[in-house]
Amino acid sequence: MVERIGRWMAKNAPKREDLEKSRWMRVFGSRVLHSEFWRFTRRSVPRGVGVGLFVGIFALIPGIQIIGAALASIPFRANIPIAAAMTFLTNPATTPFLLVASIWVGNKLGFHADLASFQALYSGGASLGDWAAWAFSDAAPAVISGLFIIAAVSGVVGWAISRYIWRWWQGRKWRRRGHRRAATEMQG
């Protein structure tokens, strides 16, 4: 399954060479296009997972997430395609759950956000102005602090799990290679 995901990513992810030709990438300079951020290594992939999860959960604004993950990957020397892909874990299906969880976490920290008003806005199809008024009320500190904590924990957990999976996958490849060598030596 990991190999299938890797093939899909290799086929569908934007290539560094394609981005070099983009006029939008000239704004960020050649730093983002450095090959270090596009290689899949044992250090850059888990970092990309952690950065992508953190930015994807904390930002929650679709266009900002990918750009933010790409720019946040630079100081952490993380894999940019992985970081950008991890932002897609927050989508219209998961966002309400993240907001409810962030309100709960923020309320546990001592802030005050009314969960009932959030549910009324969500189920009633509130306008953007109603959402903005709710966000700039007492709810903002609870939501922001809750999102930050959830994003930080998710980033660290994602980094640890992906590091473990990367080591398992590499060990599996080395064991297979060793079994093939042993089989060819026995035949020869």
**59-70: pLDDT as tens digits:** 988 878 988 898
Give the C-alpha separation, 64 to 185, whole Å: 54
Please count the residues of the chain.
188
Q: What is the pLDDT of residue 67?
A: 84
Burial code of 9-32, b = ≥16 C-beta within 10 A, e = fewer?
A: eeeeeeebeebeeeeebeeeeeeb
Q: What percent of the chain has pLDDT over 70?
A: 84
**Two structure tokens written together for 53:** 């999860």
Report residue 180's pLDDT band, with 50, 70 and 90 as the boundaries: confident
Average pLDDT, the chain: 84
**20-55: pLDDT as tens digits:** 666 666 666 666 666 677 788 889 999 999 999 999
Q: SS3 for the chain, per residue? A: CHHHHHHHHHHHCCCHHHHHCCCCHHHCCCCCCCHHHCCCCCCHHHHHHHHHHHHHHHHCCHHHHHHHHHHHHHHHCCCHHHHHHHHHHCCCCCHHHHHHHHHHHHHHCCCCCCHHHHHHHHHCCCCHHHHHHHHCCCHHHHHHHHHHHHHHHHHHHHHHHHHHHHHHHHHHHHHHHHHHHHHHHHHC
Report residue 121's pLDDT band, with 50, 70 and 90 as the boundaries: confident
Give the C-alpha separation, 98 to 83, whole Å: 19
